[in-house]
A and B are shown apart, each in its own frame.
Chain A
Amino acid sequence: MASGDIDVAYVAKLARLALTPAEIERFGTQLGALLEHVDRLAGLPVDDVAATAAVIAQSNVMRADVPVPSLDRETVLRAAPQREGAYFRVPRIIAEDA
């Protein structure tokens, strides 16, 4: 584990967050300090330890395959930043000349 080498601009791109240069610098310093703290985990012998994703593991929780009503369409669309009739209006995904 290496600390302090977090490329904030690259990670922000992965996380879909627009950051200003000042934010990149500030978060870089703050996250570097946190990574320094988490580096202590390197001292724990974990090679033969199983990873825990959930403390109380449950698998394949099923319900009966019966249709049930979902949220009312109008209620859901009312929350949309932009709508057009019965649809969400979103920015163009595919370029016209593609």
Chain B
Amino acid sequence: MEATTARDIARSVNAGETSAVERAAAMLERIDERDGAVGAYLAVTRELARESAERVDARVAAGERLPLAGVPLAIKDNMCVTGTPTTCASKILANWVAPYTATAVRRLLDAGAIPLGKTNLDEFAMGSSCENSALGRTANPWDLSRVPGGSSGGSAAAVAAGEATVSIGSDTGGSIREPAAFCGVVGFKPTYGRISRYGLIAFASSLDQIGPFSNTVADAALLYDVMAGRDPMDATTVDRAVEPSLPGLREDLRGVRIGIVKEFGLGDLDPEVRAAYERAYADLAALGAELVEVALPTADYGIATYYLIAPAECSSNLARFDGMRYGLRVEAADVGSTYEATRAAGFGDEVKRRILIGTYALSSGYYDAYYVRAQKARTLIAADFAKAFEACDAIACPAAASPAFAFDAKADPVSMYLMDYYTIPMSLAGLPSLSVPCGYVTPPGAAGPLPLGLELSAPLFAERALLGIAHAYERSTRHAERHRIPAIPVSAGAR
């Protein structure tokens, strides 16, 4: 069942050729074999998987046809699923059991998906390598000495390792696209407001967005079509009809204009990486696309803007973790010192750094100079994109400047922040953006070829066009078929 797609599984379950129970059991077995080495999951929800699969089989037997019938799904552990631990990979929520289910998850399960478990992430989705998890270490299935990317590293690694057919993650500044690139899978962040955030534990509310990981663009489109749409439980979801994206998948790019960003010159990249991206641009042109140069003069301010806005929102959102009503409590002399001791013991260093910088940026005397200035910069960045999209239908650029790096390679926080150089501007502008495999490089010291991701981004709400372009690129280049992950050593220790 290696590399089977969600579409194929749903088709065969709906046709009665296989059952959801069989698919779930086979995938749980795969997790047992491989996850000791990969560590994609923080929790495997065997009972829930079995019950869900039985329910799906009963519905199919009763004549229902479900878009995701029997499709094994992994869920990033910052999304609530009733009755299952939802930890955000943080000690402060290590023992918290969700009392409700996120809307995005609910829609996938109603469509027949089978929840296998909850995947690892950088604590509260803050990081680009999964190394900030307080609860486990996830390795890159392509090279177990390297990071899977982050923050949705567990969800990306689960699909890459064949421990889930599809998964969902959340993307605030690149947390779907960068791990997708590092793990050689498709990762898609839709327009802000397209998918409900109800039940997604908030990091930066004006940026957070849920999206799928998959082996194919068509599967990403399938999951998007199921999850997208207004939700009364999230007032920021957009009240605008969702055009199904699956019918928009196309085989060529005739008549499509692809923007290449002048400021994102490839000159600073490693020559092998640069060659891969130059070939990706040429492949787009070979499919009939017209390549046009576009300018994003303010994109270079993206990281500075993001690292004021996202921490500011984080410092406000994470104020709720005070040890009173749920989560960890560390008792101290009085209520104030109980708050302080609880948060000191419950949060890891990166979360503390972001709370501190956000609190600082919002504090009296600095609010205008930092927070408001960043919000104004955000206006300029969004305007740059709007102008660029007058000349093109989508923008192509690297998803990351390098393939996956080794554990502990980015000890300095700012060097880790710079990993999101190519993904943050699109997040600030709220744009739909995805990473699709575009080649492999073998840097010195790597165990074998490591995947690279091409980032494609489109105007607000142009998901259908974006997925169509990515599909044409994927189908003609077939990068994901050129290499397989190395054999993963079977080891005990899967959760």
Interface residues, chain A, with chain B CB atoms under 8 Å away: 1, 6, 8, 11-12, 14-19, 23, 27, 30-31, 33-35, 37-42, 44, 46, 49-56, 58, 61, 63, 71-72, 75-76, 78-82, 88, 90-93
Interface positions, chain B 403-432, Cβ under 8 Å from A, are: 412-414, 417, 428-430
Q: A31-B353, A81-B326, A81-B329 are in contact. Are A44 and B377 (CB under 8 A)?
A: yes
Bound complex: CA A41 to CA B417 (Å): 16
Q: Is the CB of B341 closer than 8 A to any CB of chain A?
A: yes
Instruction: Find out whether the CB atom of A79 lies under 8 angstroms from the CB atom of B325.
Output: yes
- State the Cβ distance, B394 to closest chain A Cβ, in Å: 18
12 contacting pairs across A/B (C-beta < 8 A): A11-B363, A15-B343, A15-B359, A30-B414, A31-B356, A37-B304, A44-B380, A46-B373, A50-B379, A76-B99, A90-B335, A91-B338
Instruction: Find out whether the CB atom of B414 lies under 8 angstroms from the CB atom of A15.
Output: no
Q: Which residues of B contact A52 (CB under 8 A)?
A: 375-376, 378-379, 382
Interface of B is mostly: helix
Instruction: Find out whether the CB atom of B357 lies under 8 angstroms from the CB atom of A31.
Output: yes
Instruction: Find out whether the CB atom of A80 lies under 8 angstroms from the CB atom of B379.
Output: no
Instruction: Find out whether the CB atom of A34 lies under 8 angstroms from the CB atom of B193.
Output: no
Bound complex: CA A93 to CA B343 (Å): 18
Q: Which residues of A contact B323 (CB under 8 A)?
A: 81
Instruction: Find out whether the CB atom of B334 lies under 8 angstroms from the CB atom of A71.
Output: no
Contact partner of B97 (CB less than 8 A), chosen from A16, A17, A39, A79, is A79
Q: Is the CB of B226 closer than 8 A to any CB of chain A?
A: no
- State the Cβ distance, B445 to closest chain A Cβ, in Å: 27
Interface residues, chain B, with chain A CB atoms under 8 Å away: 96-97, 99-100, 191-193, 206, 232, 235-236, 238, 298, 301, 303-305, 307-308, 315, 319, 322-329, 331, 334-341, 343-344, 347, 349, 352-353, 355-357, 359-360, 363, 369-370, 372-380, 382, 412-414, 417, 428-430, 460
Bound complex: CA A49 to CA B305 (Å): 14
Q: Which residues of B contact A78 (CB under 8 A)?
A: 97
Bound complex: CA A74 to CA B443 (Å): 55
Bound complex: CA A71 to CA B326 (Å): 14
Interface of A is mostly: loop
Q: A19-B344, A30-B353, A93-B335 are in contact. Are A79 and B235 (CB under 8 A)?
A: no
Q: A54-B206, A88-B324 are in contact. Are A46 and B356 (CB under 8 A)?
A: no
Q: Which residues of B contact A38 (CB under 8 A)?
A: 304, 307-308, 370, 374
- State the Cβ distance, A83 to closest chain B Cβ, in Å: 10
Q: Which residues of B contact A63 (CB under 8 A)?
A: 232
Instruction: Find out whether the CB atom of B413 lies under 8 angstroms from the CB atom of A34.
Output: yes
Bound complex: CA A14 to CA B305 (Å): 22
Bound complex: CA A47 to CA B93 (Å): 42
Instruction: Find out whether the CB atom of A82 lies under 8 angstroms from the CB atom of B340.
Output: no
Instruction: Find out whether the CB atom of B352 lies under 8 angstroms from the CB atom of A27.
Output: yes
Instruction: Find out whether the CB atom of A92 lies under 8 angstroms from the CB atom of B100.
Output: no
- State the Cβ distance, B219 to closest chain A Cβ, in Å: 26
Bound complex: CA A39 to CA B301 (Å): 10
Q: Which residues of B contact A18 (CB under 8 A)?
A: 337, 340-341, 343-344
Q: Which residues of B contact A81 (CB under 8 A)?
A: 323-329
- State the Cβ distance, A38 to closest chain B Cβ, in Å: 4
Contact partner of A15 (CB less than 8 A), chosen from B193, B315, B334, B460, is B315
